Structure 1
């Protein structure tokens, strides 16, 4: 999947288009070393295809590369971080 990043000021968005449908994960940067993931939206047509999981994994890898932590405010991202113990190095509760 080709996940794209859009940033404007302190707000950002990861998005991916699959089969003509776009899924997204949005965040706010509260400091240079901390982002708050606040929303994930996956269209019904893409549910069960791993699109949300791909967005979450992409955010985790971006945090590792960028040296920042993630606060998973979004219920989907929060659930994903609880399922993946290997992500805890970049998750702040």
Structure 2
């Protein structure tokens, strides 16, 4: 499994934060909310569950920071809504 790294308002996989092999990005929305706005997985990593791992990392980060997530990225939104364990950080 590839290493997920913390970048500037993102978590990513790869050696170059500006050109990652996979990433999930977010914006601060107020003081207690994160807006997940984009998820990307390169062709070479597709089918390995990387997108789900990135959402999982984002959820863990939000919990540690005491924040909720408002996912506007369609993939992240679906993944969070269908995963019962993520409901505690899903913004209403």
TM-score computed with the length of structure 2 as normaliser: 0.86
Match of 2:24 in 1: 25
Match of 2:70 in 1: 71
SS in 2 for 1:58: helix
- From 11, 36, 56, give the equivalent of 1:14: 11
Aligned-pair distance for 1:31?
A: 1.9
Please list every run of at least 4 consecutive aligned residues from structure 1 whose deviation after the TM superposition is greater than 4 angstroms: none
SS in 2 for 1:59: helix
Match of 1:61 in 2: 60
Match of 2:34 in 1: 35
TM-score computed with the length of structure 1 as normaliser: 0.85
Which consecutive residues of structure 1, in runs of 5 or more, have no partner in the other structure?
none
